[in-house]
Amino acid sequence: MKSVAVVATRAITSLGNLDETWRGLMEGRSALACLKSDGLFGRWPVGLIKSLEGELGTAKRLQALIKLLLADSPLILDDTTLLLAITKGAPDELLSGSAGLRPGQPCDTASYIARELGLKGPVSTISAACTSGTIAVIQGVHRIISGDAKMVAVIGIDILSRFVLAGFASLMALSPQPCRPFDHGRDGLTLGEGAGIMLLCSTEEAHKRNWPILARITGWGAACDAVHITAPDREASGLIASIKKTTDNCCRQVGAINAHGTGTRHNDAMEICAFTTLWGKNNPPFHSVKGAIGHCLGAAGVIEAVLSVESLKRGMIPPSVGLTTPESGIGHITGQKPHALDHPSILSCNSGFGGINASILITKPRAIIRA
């Protein structure tokens, strides 16, 4: 079977570009804050990218984020396959009755990005709630292994919008303060906006083109518990099944876990249940980045996979920003300081509405992945 390599990465978050985001995470900084405006955005903190033009939830803002992400994008060839992970496009234009929705809708956004890059290869949109980014990476891996694509650009992108903020507020899922993943006092999530790109190809193709291999995707899995439309299974059946598939029933060693970690009571409890069920008290150290940049929805999986590659490169796991009092029975979690990576592999996992769960195992090149 072909080995799949990560040959380039890029990310934009409320902390800045990839280097700035990494530095902010390692310093324990949070970009989450309430906007100085009336209405919902004056009440709830968010992870806003301050440099973006355009009103929240509009195509103009979405286009601005796309241009920022694609500036100087490396290695993308015209026959590259594009997989876009997104949940909503620019939904606030629907509320205003604007006729100019393109690229306000998800499928239009993928076509717009393909035109911006001059791509002639296949273009697909993956919209699977908060697992969209991770499932897009998995689909990219499948395209390469099957020989359907030589190179795949996996892009995750989502912007803040009044429509989505109001939806989460109606579910009483938002925290009135910046979210605190895995904290005993956690009381909800914080929304963010951002984008990430991960370029995949076979290791043979990377060697042939003399491209750097930053990491490899060595395991993947997805499962749906189908328990509730918004709440996860309390016994974590879907996430456990996903991780078992990804790690060959936990036979593959995991150095750390980049958890979904939204800061809601039920999501974090479900993830703790999964990790401690699979590994007991000796679970791999895990962390969440959402206390620093917010929950970026369709972009979350790609951004977090990109940050996992950065962790492998630097041999460190960022702290879980916002965590002060860990939940009891939590197992091994990074606290307020960075943690050295004991083994060169990271499990990145996400969970979403409808009970869908997905995970990937990312390893350093030539890393030994079996215990």
Please identify every residue annotated as catalytic. 130, 260, 295
Whole-angstrom CA distances from 109 to 91, 136, 205, 229 are 12, 15, 28, 26
The helix/strand/coil state of 344 is coil
**Distance (Å, whole) CA 359 – CA 138:** 8
Pairing relationship of beta strands 123-126 and 81-85 according to DSSP bridges: parallel
CB 75 within 8 A of CB 147: no
CB 356 within 8 A of CB 233: no
Which residue is it, tokens 């809601």? 264
Cis before 232? omega within 30: no
CB 115 within 8 A of CB 156: no
Neighbours of 94 (CB within 10 A): 16
Write phi, then psi, for 51 (nearest 5 degrees): -80, -5
Classify residue 245 as exposed, middle or buried by CB count within 10 Å of its CB (0-12, 13-18, 19+): middle
CB 136 within 8 A of CB 154: yes
CB 179 within 8 A of CB 294: yes
Q: Which residues of 204-241 are buried (b: 16+ CB within 10 A; e: fewer)?
A: ebbeeeebebbbbbbbbbbbbbeeeeeebbeebbbbbb
